[in-house]
Amino acid sequence: MENDCEPKHDQNVIVRIANSGDSALILRFIRELAEYERLLDSVVITEEVLHQWISTGQVEVLIAEYEGEPAGYAFYYSTYSTFRGQQGIYLEDLFVRHQFRRRGIGTRFFYELVEIAKARNCFRIDWTVLDWNVNSIRFYEKLGAMAVTDWLPFRLHGAALENATYHSQSGQVREDVKSSEIKK
């Protein structure tokens, strides 16, 4: 029986590092992923923001092409462990367009990320998956990944983030943390 997660050396698949000129394509991928995840209304990022993030190295993106056609992307950035004193990688998005699935592209993305992680002396790659996305969960498990069950993800966003403000003893917001002075 063939292992679905063995690297396939399909010469029709090219994986390359994106540059800021790929921002429009990456935004299309993000919207397609959001539609698949039933979250299209949540997408507010712009091509300009993507361009800035990529050109400054805040994020990195791999793009897969199949026979010259854009097939998918992997969007990731660096994380750090204070306990280990090492860098990690957080995979924010991995998406392969429907018509290009089951051609080894998702697996190829993972092996490319593993090589990047090893070259940077990273000790892990983290990501999340929606609990209803059974196909992706099975795919990740076949790669040898394990669900992290002893840590709970938390998120502060929207009104909770806006209303969470530190005030000094005088009741004033600290000047050095005002949102207008923080670089985005």
pLDDT of residue 2: 39
Enter the CATH code of domain 13-148. Answer: 3.40.630.30
- 166 vs 55, which has greater pLDDT? 55
pLDDT over 80 (residue 168):
no
What is the pLDDT at residue 172? 64
Instruction: Tell me the pLDDT tens digit for each residue of 17-54.
Output: 999 999 999 999 999 999 999 999 999 999 999 999 99
85-129 pLDDT tens trace = 999 999 999 999 999 999 999 999 999 999 999 999 999 999 999
Task: Flag whether pLDDT at 180 surpasses 80.
Answer: no
Between 73 and 177, residue with greater pLDDT:
73
- Cβ atoms 61, 75 nearer than 8 A: yes
β-pair type (69-81, 13-17): unpaired
- Cα dihedral 116, 3, 126, 113, rounded to 10, equals 10
Model confidence at 167: pLDDT above 80: no
- Which sequence spans correspond to the domains of the chain? 13-148
Active site residues: 140
From the list 91, 92, 129, 135, the residue with the least C-alpha distance to 113 is 91
The DSSP result for 56-121, as a single string, is TTSSEEEEEEETTEEEEEEEEEEEEETTTTEEEEEEEEEEE-GGGTTSSHHHHHHHHHHHHHHHTT
Count how many residues are written for the chain. 184
Note the pLDDT of residue 11.
83
